[in-house]
Amino acid sequence: MTVADLQQICTGSDAESKAACRFYILGVTQGLNAGMNIADGKIHGGRPCVPEDLSGDALEFMVKTAIGQDLMFYPADRELDASGFVAGAIVHTFPCEKSK
Protein backbone atom coordinates (compact mmCIF):
# COMPACT_ATOMS: atom_id res chain seq x y z
CA MET A 1 0.00 0.00 0.00
CA THR A 2 1.33 3.44 -0.88
CA VAL A 3 0.93 6.70 1.02
CA ALA A 4 -1.55 7.77 -1.69
CA ASP A 5 -3.61 4.62 -1.10
CA LEU A 6 -3.67 5.25 2.64
CA GLN A 7 -4.59 8.89 2.16
CA GLN A 8 -7.49 7.88 -0.06
CA ILE A 9 -8.75 5.38 2.51
CA CYS A 10 -8.30 7.82 5.39
CA THR A 11 -10.25 10.58 3.67
CA GLY A 12 -13.20 8.32 2.86
CA SER A 13 -16.44 9.26 4.56
CA ASP A 14 -17.95 5.77 4.79
CA ALA A 15 -17.66 3.65 7.93
CA GLU A 16 -15.57 0.98 6.19
CA SER A 17 -12.92 3.50 5.09
CA LYS A 18 -12.77 5.07 8.53
CA ALA A 19 -12.33 1.66 10.17
CA ALA A 20 -9.72 0.54 7.62
CA CYS A 21 -7.72 3.74 8.18
CA ARG A 22 -7.79 3.42 11.96
CA PHE A 23 -6.94 -0.30 11.99
CA TYR A 24 -4.09 0.14 9.50
CA ILE A 25 -2.51 2.90 11.61
CA LEU A 26 -3.00 0.96 14.85
CA GLY A 27 -1.57 -2.17 13.22
CA VAL A 28 1.56 -0.36 12.09
CA THR A 29 1.93 1.18 15.55
CA GLN A 30 1.64 -2.18 17.29
CA GLY A 31 3.97 -3.79 14.76
CA LEU A 32 6.52 -1.04 15.35
CA ASN A 33 6.34 -1.57 19.10
CA ALA A 34 6.71 -5.33 18.68
CA GLY A 35 9.68 -4.89 16.35
CA MET A 36 11.38 -2.54 18.79
CA ASN A 37 10.94 -5.08 21.58
CA ILE A 38 12.41 -7.80 19.38
CA ALA A 39 15.34 -5.53 18.44
CA ASP A 40 15.93 -4.91 22.15
CA GLY A 41 17.27 -1.42 21.59
CA LYS A 42 19.65 -2.36 18.78
CA ILE A 43 18.26 0.22 16.35
CA HIS A 44 19.68 3.16 14.42
CA GLY A 45 16.65 5.27 13.52
CA GLY A 46 15.38 6.06 16.99
CA ARG A 47 12.84 4.36 19.21
CA PRO A 48 9.33 5.74 19.50
CA CYS A 49 7.62 6.09 22.85
CA VAL A 50 3.92 6.33 22.05
CA PRO A 51 2.02 7.38 25.17
CA GLU A 52 -0.05 4.47 26.47
CA ASP A 53 -3.06 6.74 26.99
CA LEU A 54 -2.97 8.15 23.44
CA SER A 55 -6.36 7.62 21.82
CA GLY A 56 -6.85 6.03 18.44
CA ASP A 57 -8.45 9.30 17.31
CA ALA A 58 -5.34 11.27 18.26
CA LEU A 59 -3.01 8.79 16.56
CA GLU A 60 -5.14 8.80 13.41
CA PHE A 61 -5.24 12.62 13.39
CA MET A 62 -1.46 12.79 13.75
CA VAL A 63 -0.88 10.44 10.81
CA LYS A 64 -3.44 12.18 8.57
CA THR A 65 -1.85 15.54 9.38
CA ALA A 66 1.64 14.19 8.65
CA ILE A 67 0.48 12.83 5.30
CA GLY A 68 -1.19 16.11 4.34
CA GLN A 69 1.79 18.24 5.33
CA ASP A 70 4.32 15.97 3.66
CA LEU A 71 2.48 15.66 0.38
CA MET A 72 1.98 19.41 0.18
CA PHE A 73 5.76 19.83 -0.14
CA TYR A 74 6.82 16.44 -1.48
CA PRO A 75 4.08 15.15 -3.82
CA ALA A 76 6.32 12.34 -5.07
CA ASP A 77 6.10 10.81 -1.57
CA ARG A 78 2.64 9.58 -2.59
CA GLU A 79 4.40 6.50 -3.98
CA LEU A 80 6.25 5.66 -0.74
CA ASP A 81 5.35 2.59 1.29
CA ALA A 82 2.55 3.56 3.67
CA SER A 83 3.73 1.43 6.58
CA GLY A 84 7.20 2.98 6.47
CA PHE A 85 5.70 6.46 6.29
CA VAL A 86 3.43 5.82 9.28
CA ALA A 87 6.32 4.32 11.27
CA GLY A 88 8.51 7.32 10.44
CA ALA A 89 5.79 9.75 11.49
CA ILE A 90 5.39 7.90 14.79
CA VAL A 91 9.14 7.90 15.50
CA HIS A 92 9.36 11.60 14.62
CA THR A 93 6.31 12.61 16.70
CA PHE A 94 6.93 10.41 19.75
CA PRO A 95 10.71 10.07 20.22
CA CYS A 96 11.88 8.50 23.46
CA GLU A 97 13.72 10.71 25.88
CA LYS A 98 17.43 10.11 25.74
CA SER A 99 18.84 8.91 29.04
CA LYS A 100 21.34 11.28 30.62
Mean per-residue pLDDT for 38-49? 68
- Please state the domain extents for the chain: 3-93
Query: What's the full length of the chain, in residues?
Result: 100
Phi, psi of 22 (to 5 degrees): -60, -45
- pLDDT value of position 100: 46
Could you tell me the pLDDT band of residue 44, with boundaries at 50, 70 and 90? low
Among residues 78, 90, 93, the alpha carbon closest in space to that of 27 is found at: 90
**pLDDT higher than threshold 70 for residue 98:** no
Q: Which residues fall within 8 angstroms of residue 86, CB to CB, at 6 or more apart?
A: 6, 24, 25, 28, 29, 63
Are the C-beta atoms of residues 71 and 7 closer than 8 Å to each other?
yes
